Structure 1
Amino acid sequence: MIDNHTFPANWGIFPVIFRIGKLEVSSYSFFVLLGLIVGLSVYFLLARRYKQASENSFYVVVAGVVGGILGAKLPYWIFNYQVIVENYPNIGPILSGRTITGGLIGGTLSVIYIKRRLGITDKKGNLFAPAIAIGVAIGRLGCFARGCCYGEPTTLLCGVNFGDDVLRHPTQLYETVFFIGFFIYSLIRIKSAPPGFLFYALMNSYFILRFFEEFIRYNDQFFWGLSFFQYISIVAVVFINLKQYLEKTQHHGRLLSTKR
């Protein structure tokens, strides 16, 4: 699999955002951390505003963050284990490389697990959606600055040279625009949307976008002309819609039982 997180010298738009003495702070790490902080802040601000803050919220958020971090790292570790082994004991390759698809899936599965484990039934999806959207939008700026997750060569005016004198699709910015748009949409709909609707809408729309985006992303074909992340996107969309359907069916069944 193509490693989009190992770079030649002078690669990226501005890989180092600032220096403190001899310490270099990478743009990638800076924007990922900033996105996490802003995303969490948005979630807790919305929870307080709409009076949905609770002790359960804390456990769900922690599960989502931990699951998201592990999910974001796991695909990179699996597909680049040789790089990790060859560079041992250097932990640089272990810490580098993340994937948003893995983060979203890992975070979602962790939240599902902790809610079932603790018997939490209240839905916070409409609060999570804008928080995730703005967090990822900011994080993708780090990908753009570092020059990872880039696209195929293009002749369009939006093409960007990441360091090899080839104009490429800035797929990182495409996603930033998408997530900012969804963030605005979710804030508009947060009062009127049914419980959990915005989260399902975010996941569905992103994985559909990611499926088609992969055709212009610089990635290996995995099987039948599709990339690994296209198959992940298909599975994710099926899982999300199946879960949403089952929840609606169960809710409808409970309403019928109550009426009887």
Structure 2
Amino acid sequence: MPVETHEIFTGLGLGVAAAVFAVETHRRGRHDPRLWYLVAGALTGGAVFARIGTWLQHLRLGDNAGLAQQWLYGNRSILSGLLGAYAGVLVAKRLCGYTEHSGDLFAPAVAAGMAVGRIGCLLTELPGTPTGGRWGITLTAEAAARIPGARVGVPLHPSFAYEIVFHLLALGALVLLRDRVTRPDALFTGYLAGYAIFRFGVEFVRGNQVVADGLTRPQWFLLCCAPLLAWRIWKLNGRVKVR
């Protein structure tokens, strides 16, 4: 599909996420207008980190693109975008003085938005590595010509379809648990932990470049972030109950 398809579904994903967030705030009776400052912080942090987060491609700093070139032409990463969105919410809370937990509002919104946004990736990016399964995606010569490294006539893992299914299942679980988990911030932490584990595994059939020890850059990024996520889970240990 044309590259613009990716941007269209990214926009749709953001719209769906905003709609789900609004529904959740209304359903929970949380009408504090400062919540929308948190949304602005998430969007700003996510946009900046998604683009800049892929800057460090090589250990030798001089081999990487300049920051201006990276911003204009660099790849985007959903993983660094999520980290930036999380940081953006924390900064926005400090600036506007909002002290309540907001993970229960963001978790289903992010899951729904990711499910929609990844449709654009499925239609425009390299599907994955070769697979012998019938469910594989076989690219035509015309389609493969638009995607660097793509192979023609070989069934490929639909890795983005796997991810869409994950986010839909996660959304269902979050809806079921949203009124049963006693700590609202635990919902978002659990979602991030589940996605990190899933993403690390699906990378093996994603088709991204292997850079060291059989792992891709997203996998190394996840390993670097693992201590922070583990610390967050440890902080919640023993404080979360499911009614």
TM-score of the pair, normalised by structure 2: 0.82
Q: Which residue pairs with 2:184 in the alignment?
A: 195
* Aligned-partner residue type, residue 161 of structure 2: L
Q: Which residue pairs with 1:23 in the alignment?
A: none
Q: Is the 8 A contact 1:141 1:176 kept in 2?
A: yes
CA shift digits 1:39-61 (9 cap, x unpaired):
01110111011112312211111
Q: Determine which of 68, 86, 92 is the counterpart of 1:114.
A: 92
Q: Which residue pairs with 1:28 in the alignment?
A: 6
Q: Determine which of 205, 213, 218 is the counterpart of 1:229.
A: 218
Structure 1 residues not aligned, in runs of 5+: 1-13, 17-25, 253-260
Residue 125 (structure 1) aligned with residue 112 (structure 2): no
Off by >6 Å, runs of 4+ in structure 1 = 80-85
* Aligned-partner residue type, residue 24 of structure 2: L
Compared CA separation, residues 197 and 122, structure 1 to 2 (3 A): same
Compared CA separation, residues 198 and 247, structure 1 to 2 (3 A): closer
Q: Is the 8 A contact 2:16 2:113 kept in 1?
A: yes
In 2, Cα distance between equivalents of 1:118 and 1:247: 25
TM-score of the pair, normalised by structure 1: 0.77
In 2, Cα distance between equivalents of 1:248 and 1:117: 29
Residue 15 (structure 1) aligned with residue 2 (structure 2): yes
In 2, Cα distance between equivalents of 1:117 and 1:172: 36
In 2, Cα distance between equivalents of 1:97 and 1:57: 30
SS of the residue corresponding to residue 226 of structure 2 reads helix
1:144 shift after superposition: 0.7
Q: Which residue pairs with 2:234 in the alignment?
A: 245
> Within 5 A, what are the aligned runs for 1:33-48?
33-48=11-26
* Aligned-partner residue type, residue 98 of structure 1: R
Structure 2 residues not aligned, in runs of 5+: 145-151
CA shift digits 1:20-57 (9 cap, x unpaired):
xxxxxx21111100000010111011101111231221
Query: Which one has a bigger Cα radius of gyration?
Result: 1
Q: Is the 8 A contact 1:207 1:236 kept in 2?
A: no
1:117 shift after superposition: 4.1
> Within 5 A, what are the aligned runs for 1:55-204?
55-79=33-57, 94=72, 97-148=75-126, 150-162=127-139, 163=144, 164-193=152-181, 194-204=183-193
In 1, Cα distance between equivalents of 2:21 and 2:45: 17
1:141 shift after superposition: 0.2
SS of the residue corresponding to residue 168 of structure 1 reads coil
Aligned residue pairs: how many?
223
1:247 shift after superposition: 5.8
* Aligned-partner residue type, residue 173 of structure 2: Y
Compared CA separation, residues 205 and 190, structure 1 to 2 (3 A): same
Q: Is the 8 A contact 1:44 1:53 kept in 2?
A: no
* Aligned-partner residue type, residue 216 of structure 1: V
1:215 shift after superposition: 1.2
SS of the residue corresponding to residue 154 of structure 1 reads coil
Compared CA separation, residues 127 and 65, structure 1 to 2 (3 A): same
